[in-house]
Structure 1
Amino acid sequence: MQKGASAEKEARQHLKAAPQQHKLAPSKLTEEHQSITTTQQKERNESMQRLVWEQAWDKTISPGDRKKVEVAFEQANEQATPMKYIPFWQARNYRGELLITVIVQNFSEETMHFTDMPLRYSEDGELIASHTFSFPNLKLDAKSSMPWTFIFPIETIKQEPRLEEGFLEDIHP
């Protein structure tokens, strides 16, 4: 298994077991979005963004979590920008690392590569952690979205997170 896929699998396992796991508030997952059928989703995705699953995610995600990602994707797909990170889960693992799961959306016409990506995680406008990520074998095709967990090493955490209402963003030099 590739290093990135191994780290991703570990992150998903910790997210399931993490006692400090926090998910988006149920109020953000409206009944309208929860009732979208697979057929309706496919029709909408043909004209908009399409959700793709990295191989390890596709094999290991539970049906319930898959549906939650699909619902969050549908909601986020309504407001297109060139690229954005839609918050999904925030947690700490047993090593104290910060796990930030997002739906990465690439609205551009070009494939996105996950190399030398300086990112920061903030809550209420306060910097919580920043780190440069590289996953050389990972890419996201144009006009596609996929879930991914970014693991911030403990030494990159600037202050204790609340694990609520956080967001991930690019650090522009």
Structure 2
Amino acid sequence: MNLVFEPKWDKALPDTDRRKIEQIFQNSVQHNTVDKQMTFTALWQARNHRSDLLVTVLINNYSRQACSFSNTTLQYVEDDVVKAEKQFTLERVFVPPDSSMPWTFIFPESSFTDFPIILHGNLVYK
């Protein structure tokens, strides 16, 4: 697995965040996995000034094809309860085969399906 950064992220990412991402990648991402698929490794979650939920993850593409997000429905889940759900189309997100890329998915408050949101969840495909 390779760790790659979207070009704008690569330029703007603070060194402390880059080191955290690199460490989580080295310690958490499965290398040489037999089950070829895409997974998410949680990095951190936050709420912004508009109360949107920001979920930053490593997108782990274990497949032999590049992955992108076009009308892809994702759920934010805490303790097996879906807390938010949204369909994403992200033109800038292109994860090469056998690579991981950090990205922040933004769920507006209108996408919340359950409360409270405690900020210790994971992303999953619907």
> TM-score, normalised on structure 1?
0.67
In the alignment, is the contact (CA less than 8 A) between 2:29 and 2:41 conserved in 1? no
Alignment partner of 1:102: what SS? strand
Equivalent-residue separation in structure 2 for 1:53 and 1:137 (angstroms): 11
- Unaligned regions of 5+ residues in structure 1, if any? 1-48
Match of 2:20 in 1: 68
Equivalent-residue separation in structure 1 for 2:11 and 2:68 (angstroms): 22
Q: Where is the helix percentage greater, Structure 1 or Structure 2?
A: 1
- Unaligned regions of 5+ residues in structure 2, if any? none
Equivalent-residue separation in structure 2 for 1:77 and 1:130 (angstroms): 24
Structure 1 position 96 matched with structure 2 position 48: no
**Residues 1-173 of structure 1: matches in 2 within 5 Å?**
49-78=1-30, 80=33, 81=35, 82-158=37-113, 159-164=115-120, 166-171=121-126
Equivalent-residue separation in structure 1 for 2:91 and 2:12 (angstroms): 22
Cα RMSD between the aligned structures? 1.2
Equivalent-residue separation in structure 2 for 1:137 and 1:98 (angstroms): 20
Equivalent-residue separation in structure 2 for 1:137 and 1:95 (angstroms): 23
**Larger RCO: 1 or 2 (CA < 8 Å, sep 6+):** 2
Equivalent-residue separation in structure 2 for 1:87 and 1:138 (angstroms): 17
Q: Where is the strand percentage greater, Structure 1 or Structure 2?
A: 2
Equivalent-residue separation in structure 2 for 1:136 and 1:68 (angstroms): 26
Query: 1:92 deviation in Å?
Result: 0.6
Which shows bigger deviation, 149-158 or 129-138? Answer: 129-138
Equivalent-residue separation in structure 2 for 1:76 and 1:119 (angstroms): 21
Larger gyration radius, structure 1 or structure 2 = 1
Letter in 2 for 1:60: A
> TM-score, normalised on structure 2?
0.91
Which shows bigger deviation, 94-103 or 132-141? Answer: 132-141
CA deviation vs aligned residue, 1:68-121 (integer Å, no higher than 9, x gap): 000111122236441100001111100011000000000000110111110000
CA deviation vs aligned residue, 1:12-40 (integer Å, no higher than 9, x gap): xxxxxxxxxxxxxxxxxxxxxxxxxxxxx
